[in-house]
C-alpha cells in the first residue's frame, strides 16, 4: 500500500489502548496518519500514543467510554478541532463476560451490549454526522466470526456482534440507496491474541483463552487498514472465520453439537483463575498491558485468506471453484470406470 494513501489522513480508532485497536493504530502510524486514540484507560492510551509517534504517526489521546453517546460525540468534536476533518473511523471497542448465561446479571449483559454493540452505533452516528455533508469518508465496523455463529459462555458478546451485523446490513443499504460515496465495511475476525482474555469479567474456574486457531493482532490490523482504503462490503480474516460462517450455514446443527461438547473446555486453560483477577467491565484496568494476551506461541502471524483478498482473489469463490473441479474430476472418473 502506498504511503500517500494515508499520509496525514485523520483516523479515529475506538478501543485503541490495547489489542486489535492498538495494533491498528500502529499500522496507520506507519503510513504517516494522524491517529485519534479513543478508550477509557489512560495508561494504555499513553502507551499507544508513544508508539504511534515512534512509528511516524501523529497521535491524540481522547479518553472515551463508547457506551455514552455524549462522550463519543464530544470525542469526534475534539478530533476535528485538533486534526481537522475525520477521514476514517474504526469502531473497534468491545467488552465481554465469560460466563454461562444463567450466571450473568441483567446489568452486566446490558453493559456488554452498550459497549460492544451500541458503541459501534454511536461511533457510526458521529462519523456520519461529519462525513455526510462532505459525501466522503470511510467507516469500519470490527466484527467477528461470532457475528454469525454464537458460542457458549459468551452470550452477551455474541449477541452484540450479531446486532452489529444486522445494523451494518441496514445502514449499507441506506447508503447505497442514497448513492453515497462514503465507504463502509465490516471486518470479521477470528480468535486473536489480545488482552481481553486477561481483563474481561470471567466466572469460569480457569483462565479464559481464545478458542480455535489464534492470530496475532497485526493480522487483523492489516485487514482493517485494507478495508479502510478499499470499497469492499465485508472482509473475513483467517480460515477459521470462513469455516465458522460457511459451516454454520451448511450444517448449523453440527456446529451446535460440537460447541456443546467442546466449547466450555476449549475456552479455558488448565490454570486456575486468580482470585484477585481484575476486570474492565465497569471501569478500566489502570495498567498498560500492551497489545498481546500471552498466547504468542500459539498465534499465527499470517492469514492466507486475507492475502488472497488483498490481492483481488475471493477465497469463497476459490473454494467453490476447487469444489467444482473436484466434483467434475470425480464424475469423470466414475463415468470412465463405468465405460460410459
Predicted TM-score (pTM) of the model is 0.92
Per residue in 94-124, pLDDT tens?
999 999 999 999 999 999 999 999 999 999 9
Give tens-digit pLDDT for 46-87. Answer: 999 999 999 999 999 999 999 999 999 999 999 999 999 999
11-15, 54-58, 233-237, 331-335: least confidently modelled range: 331-335
Give domain status of residue 332, yes or no.
Answer: no
Is 143 inside a domain boundary?
A: yes
Instruction: Calculate mean pLDDT across residues 270-278.
Output: 92
Task: Place 312 in a pLDDT band, splitting at 50, 70 and 90.
Answer: confident
Q: Is residue 329 part of a domain?
A: no
Print the domain residue range for 64. Answer: 3-302
Q: Looking at the domain assignment, is residue 307 inside a domain?
A: no
Mean pLDDT for the stretch of residues 292-309: 93
Low-confidence winner among 130-144, 294-308, 319-333 (lowest mean pLDDT): 319-333
Q: Report helix, strand or coil for 270.
A: strand
> Which of the residue ranges 1-15, 43-57, 186-200, 298-312 would you say has the lowest mean pLDDT?
1-15
Question: What does the mean pLDDT of the chain come to?
Answer: 94
Phi and psi of 46, rounded to 5°? -65, -40
Residue 340 placed within a domain: no
pLDDT at 112: 98
Residues classed as catalytic: 157
Q: What is the DSSP letter of 118?
A: I
Distance CA 28, CA 319 (A): 31
- For residue 323, is it within any domain? no
The CA distance from 26 to 53, in Å, is 9
b (16+ CB within 10 A) / e for 237-258: bbbbbbbbbbbbeeeeeebeee
C-alpha cell at 281: 467491565
CA-CA distances (angstroms) from residue 49 to 16, 43, 108, 203, 301?
A: 9, 10, 30, 33, 24
CATH number of the domain that residue 235 is part of? 3.40.50.720
Query: Residue range 35-55: average pLDDT?
Result: 98
Please state, in angstroms and rounded to a whole number, the distance separating the CA atoms of residues 150 and 157: 9
Tell whether the torsion through CA atoms of 226, 232, 234 and 235 is positive or negative.
negative
Specify the pLDDT at position 339: 73
210 belongs to a structural domain: yes
Question: In percent, how much of the chain has pLDDT > 90?
Answer: 86
At 40 the three-state DSSP class reads coil
Angle (nearest 5°) at CA 147 between 155 and 186: 145
- The count of structural domains within the chain is 1
With beta carbons less than 8 A apart as the criterion, state whether 123 and 117 touch.
no
Asked, for residue 82, whether it belongs to a domain, the answer is yes
Q: What digits encode the pLDDT tens for the residues 144-174?
A: 999 999 999 999 999 999 999 999 999 999 9
Amino acid at each position: 500500500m502506498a504511503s500517500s494513501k494515508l499520509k496525514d489522513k485523520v483516523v479515529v480508532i475506538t478501543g485503541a489502548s490495547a489489542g486489535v485497536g492498538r495494533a491498528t493504530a500502529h499500522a496507520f502510524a506507519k503510513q504517516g496518519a494522524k491517529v485519534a486514540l479513543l478508550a477509557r484507560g489512560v495508561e494504555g492510551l499513553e502507551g499507544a500514543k508513544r508508539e504511534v509517534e515512534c512509528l511516524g504517526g501523529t497521535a491524540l489521546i481522547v479518553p472515551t467510554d463508547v457506551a455514552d453517546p455524549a462522550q463519543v460525540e464530544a470525542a469526534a468534536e475534539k478530533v476535528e478541532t485538533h486534526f481537522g476533518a475525520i477521514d476514517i473511523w474504526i469502531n473497534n471497542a468491545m467488552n465481554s463476560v465469560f460466563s454461562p448465561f444463567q450466571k450473568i446479571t441483567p446489568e452486566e449483559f446490558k453493559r456488554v451490549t452498550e459497549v460492544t454493540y451500541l458503541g459501534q452505533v454511536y461511533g457510526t452516528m458521529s462519523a456520519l454526522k461529519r462525513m455526510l455533508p462532505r459525501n466522503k469518508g470511510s467507516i469500519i465496523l470490527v466484527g467477528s466470526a461470532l457475528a454469525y455463529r454464537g458460542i457458549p459462555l459468551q452470550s452477551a458478546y455474541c449477541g452484540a456482534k450479531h446486532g452489529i451485523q444486522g445494523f451494518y446490513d441496514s445502514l449499507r443499504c441506506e447508503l447505497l440507496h442514497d448513492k453515497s460515496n462514503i465507504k463502509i465495511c465490516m471486518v470479521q475476525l477470528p480468535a486473536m491474541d489480545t488482552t481481553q482474555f486477561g481483563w474481561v469479567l470471567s466466572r469460569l474456574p480457569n483462565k479464559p483463552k481464545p478458542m480455535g486457531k489464534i492470530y496475532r493482532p497485526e493480522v487483523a490490523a492489516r485487514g482493517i487498514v485494507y478495508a479502510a482504503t478499499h470499497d469492499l462490503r465485508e472482509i473475513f480474516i483467517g480460515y477459521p472465520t470462513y469455516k465458522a460462517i460457511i459451516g454454520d450455514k451448511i450444517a448449523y446443527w453440527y456446529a451446535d453439537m460440537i460447541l456443546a461438547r467442546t466449547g466450555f473446555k476449549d475456552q479455558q486453560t488448565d490454570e486456575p483463575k486468580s482470585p484477585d483477577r481484575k476486570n474492565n467491565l465497569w471501569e478500566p484496568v489502570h495498567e498498560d498491558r500492551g497489545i498481546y494476551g500471552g498466547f504468542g506461541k500459539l498465534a499465527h502471524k499470517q492469514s492466507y485468506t486475507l492475502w488472497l483478498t488483498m490481492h483481488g482473489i475471493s477465497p469463497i469463490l476459490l473454494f467453490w471453484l476447487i469444489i467444482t473441479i473436484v466434483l467434475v474430476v470425480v464424475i469423470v472418473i466414475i463415468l470412465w470406470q463405468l465405460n460410459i
